[in-house]
Amino acid sequence: MASKPSIPKGTRDFSPTEVAKRQYIIQIIKSNFEKFGFQPIETPSFENSETLMGKYGEEGDRLIFKILNSGEYVSKFNDTLVEFIRFSIIYHKDYLKKKNESFDMKDYDFLYKKNLATYLKSKNLYIFKDATVSEIELLDDVFYFILKRLKKDDLLSKADSEFDDFVKIIFADFYYELKYKYLTSYISEKALRYDLTVPFARYVVQHQNEIEFPFKRYQIQPVWRADRPQKGRFREFFQCDADVVGSKSLWQEVELVQLYDTVFTALGLNAVTIKINNRKILSGIAEVIGASDKLIDFTVALDKLDKIGEDGVKKEMMEKGISEEAILKVQPLFSFTGTISEKITQLSVLLSESEEGMKGVEELRFICENVIKLGLSNSILDLDVTLARGLNYYTGAIFEVAPPKSVAMGSIGGGGRYDDLTGIFGLKNMSGVGISFGLDRIYLVVEELNLFPETVTATSKALFINYGDKEAFYALQAIQKLRASGIKVEFYPDNTKVAKQFQHADKRGIPYAVIIGEQEMASNSYLLKNLITGEQVSLNFENLRNALS
C-alpha cells in the first residue's frame, strides 16, 4: 500500500507563482546589497556541531537540528552501551555475592573507576576518551533501546532490591554524562546551520589571510531551527544577511539604515519602522538602578511594555528580584516619547552617572543625527529603548524593522553591532555589524498589501499549437529564434486535440497562441491568436517577434 505523501512540519513546498514572487524579493535585496558594495559568499548547509553549539544560548542550542553520523555509528554506540550496562549488572551481582554485602556507593565508585574502565578498554568500548562536550535530544530513544534489549535478555527481572538501586544509579549517572559530554560527538558530529552569522564568523577566521578588510559580505541561504511553527515562523527558511567586519566606524550603521530604507522602498513598502537601540544603553540603565547582575531579566521585562503595560512590566521586574527603588529610577522609560533628539536628551540625563551608558548615548546620537541629515525615502527611524534582541552577542547598536502598522506581523528584519564574534574561533578584536532581512515575513507583508507587480508571475508569452510533426518542426525553428531574442515561448509537446491545447494555455495564463497549418507553412507566416480577446492576425516572423516582444 502506497504511503500518503507529506512533508516535515514547519517546511513548505513552493508553487511556480510563489517561487517567482520569492525570487522577485531576493533579486531586489541582492541588487541593493551589491549597490552598497557587499560581496556574496556561501557556506555549507551543515557545520561541525562544535561550530554551532554554545553560540546561541541555552534556548538556541535546543533549536539546532543535529545530523546523525552515517553508517553504523548509532547501532554500534547502542551496542556499546548495552555491553557496558550488561557487564555492570553481571559484575555487580557477582561482586555482591562474593562480598555478601548490601550495595552502597563505595561499591559503585570502585566498580566504575577501576574495573569497568579496564573492561571497556579491553573490549575496544572505551569510546568516552577525549569526547567533545555537547548534548543531544536523542537520549531518551537511546536508553529506550537499551532497556528493551536488557529486558529481552531477562536481566532486569532477576534483580534484587540492591540491584534495582544500582541500575537506577548507573542509568541516572550515565544519562547525565552522555547528555552533556559524550553522546553527540559520537553519533552526531554535524548540525544544520541555525543562522548565517556564526558560519560567517567561522568563514572569516578560516579565510582571514585571503580577505581584504573591512570585508563586506552578503549571504542569501536557507537556515533551519527546530522551532514551533506558526504564522511567519518556519523550521526551514531563508535569511538574507549583510555584514561588515574589520571596522568599528559608526558610518557602517548609518549605511545599514540606508540599505534597509532602499530595499523596502524598492519593494513598495512605505512607513516601515527601523527601530534602533544600543546594548550599552541597556547596560547603563541596569548599572544606574543597581541591577547590573539582572540585565537580562530587566531588559526581557522592559521589552514586554507594549504587550503587558507598565504595571505588568513592574510586576515582572519585582518577581525577578529588582527592587522598587530601582524600578522608580527607570520610571521615565515607561513614558519615553518625543523626537529622537528629545529621547537622546532624556537618556543623557538618566545615564549621566554611567560611563558605559553615555558611550551608548553618543553612539546613538551619531548614527541617528547623520541618518536624519542624509534623509530616508519612505522608512521611519525610531529610537526604542525597549529593544533588547541579541543581547548574547550584540555589543553596540541593535536594529529591528517593523512592517507598516496596517499589517499584523512580527519583525521583518534585525541586526546589530558585535565587537568580538570571531573571537569564539580565536580571532580577537574583529568588530563587525550586520543586518538581516526576513524573506518569508517580507513575502507575507508584500502579498497582504498586494504589492507584487503582475509581471512577476508572468508565464510564457505564447504557446505554439501542435498540429503534427511537420508543423512542429516549422514551429520549433521560429521558437528557437524567439528564445534567442529573449522572448519566453513554448511548444505543446503532444499532438492532441486543439481544444485541449487551448485549455492548457488558458490554465497557465498564457496570453497568446501561435497556430501553424499547411497554409501558414506555404506562405511562410504564423497565425497569432489573442486568447483574451479572441482576435487573430497572420504575421511574418519579424512582425511575430515584434508582437511578442
Per the structure block, which three cell numbers stand in for 443?
513575502
Task: In whole angstroms, give the CA distance from residue 76 to residue 455.
Answer: 56
- Phi-psi region at 390: left, alpha or beta (left = phi > 0; alpha = psi -120 to 50): left
- Phi-psi region at 62: left, alpha or beta (left = phi > 0; alpha = psi -120 to 50): alpha
Q: Is the dihedral of CA 4, 5, 11, 12 positive or negative?
A: negative
Find all residues with CB under 8 Å of 522, minimum gap 6, and list them.
none
Task: In whole angstroms, give the CA distance from residue 354 to residue 280.
Answer: 10
Residue pointed to by grid coordinates 570571531: 422
Task: In whole angstroms, give the CA distance from residue 168 to residue 520.
Answer: 87
Half-sphere exposure of 523 (CA within 13 A, CB side): 10
Q: Can you name the residues that pair with 416 across neighbouring β-strands?
A: 398, 434
- The answer to whether 225 is a known ligand-binding residue is yes
Which 8-state DSSP code applies to residue 230?
Answer: B
Find all residues with CB under 8 Å of 167, minimum gap 6, and list them.
85, 89, 156, 159
- The answer to whether 62 is a known ligand-binding residue is no
Determine the residue type at 298: F
- The answer to whether 196 is a known ligand-binding residue is yes
Task: In whole angstroms, give the CA distance from residue 63 to residue 224.
Answer: 9
Task: In whole angstroms, give the CA distance from residue 442 to residue 497.
Answer: 43
What Cα–Cα distance (Å) separates residue 375 from each residue in 337, 494, 504?
A: 21, 58, 50
Task: In whole angstroms, give the CA distance from residue 422 to residue 206.
Answer: 10
- The answer to whether 51 is a known ligand-binding residue is no
Exposure string for 345-361, b = 16+ CB within 10 A, e = fewer: ebbeebbeebebbbbbb
Beta strands in 371-487 (DSSP E): 380-383, 397-402, 413-418, 432-438, 462-464
Per the structure block, which three cell numbers stand in for 382?
525610531
Per the structure block, which three cell numbers stand in for 262?
532602499
Lateral strand order in the sheet of 190-192: 46-48, 190-192, 66-67
- The answer to whether 56 is a known ligand-binding residue is no
Say whether 215 sits in a helix, a strand or coil: strand
**Total residues found in the chain within this entry:** 549
- The answer to whether 186 is a known ligand-binding residue is no
- The answer to whether 393 is a known ligand-binding residue is yes
SS3 for 354-386, per residue?
CHHHHHHHHHHHHHHHHHHHHCCCCCEEEECCC
Q: Can you name the residues that pair with 400 across neighbouring β-strands?
A: 275, 414
- The answer to whether 239 is a known ligand-binding residue is yes
- The answer to whether 197 is a known ligand-binding residue is yes
Which residues contribute to the annotated binding site?
195-197, 225, 239, 243, 389, 393-394
Which residues contribute to the annotated binding site for L-histidine?
195-197, 225, 239, 243, 389, 393-394
